[in-house]
A and B are shown apart, each in its own frame.
Chain A
Amino acid sequence: QTVVTQEPSFSVSPGGTVTITCGLSSGSVSANSHPSWYQQTPGQAPRTLIYNTNTRSSGVPDRFSGSILGSKAALTITGAQADDECDYYCVLFVGSGWVFGGGTKLTVL
């Protein structure tokens, strides 16, 4: 069974930079995993932030960026703002379907 790993939580100061990573329990994440990132505020449906590793979805501010760092996918928020405080999920395509990471709760304070 494929497990996608994320840091459970992160804290960042307003204006600061944070990088959330997305790994595989066995193996490395590459562009072939088609990593994507989703943002979810309480009580709302997820919203697509990044797809194809590093392409921002329409309307997503350019302070959000995606990349591959070593063996993991990464979401970097540069210049964090108060309303960035929410949950972030990565998703990888594993051939037989998609697998969500466990999510990262970001606190901005």
Chain B
Amino acid sequence: EVQLVESGGALVQPGGSLRLSCSASGFTFNNYFMHWVRQAPGKGPEYISTISSNGDTTLYADSVRGRFTIFRDNSKNTLFLQVSSLRPEDTAMYYCVKDRSGTWSFDYWGQGTLVTVSS
């Protein structure tokens, strides 16, 4: 059974930083692209970032490029998102999402970790 468990969310002040983690199990992690998607309270989901299976290629949405960094540790089956220069509008549930290979779509979703940016 595929499991994605996010952690690291917290209440942080504007300008602050966090590292979000996603522990993956139930599939061969190093064979799959992975994504981060966020959802602000009461809003729809927003695509954030993608990383290739070996970590060599990354994509970012314009809204986070230069402030967020996606990376992975395939030896530990873990995906990360380093979030920096946080703004109140970054307040959201952050979901780790497994790619569905060859389909340009999302497959399994974690339950999310909440980031709240407020002074």
Mark A residues whose CB is within 8 Å of B: 1, 34, 36, 38, 40, 44-48, 51-52, 55, 57, 87, 89, 91, 93, 96-103
Contact = CB atoms under 8 A, between A and B. Distances in A.
B105 A100 contact: no
A89 B44 contact: yes
B105 A45 contact: no
A94 to B, nearest CB: 10
A46 B45 contact: yes
A91 B106 contact: yes
| Residue among A36, A46, A103 with the highest chain B CB neighbour number at 10 A | A46
B47 A101 contact: no
A52 B46 contact: no
B106 to A, nearest CB: 6
Contacts of B105: 34, 36, 48, 51-52, 91, 93
Interface residues of B, number: 23
B92 to A, nearest CB: 13
A45 B26 CA distance: 18
Given A45-B109, A46-B109, A93 B104 contact: yes
B91 interface: no
Contact of B95 (A45, A55, A87, A101): A45
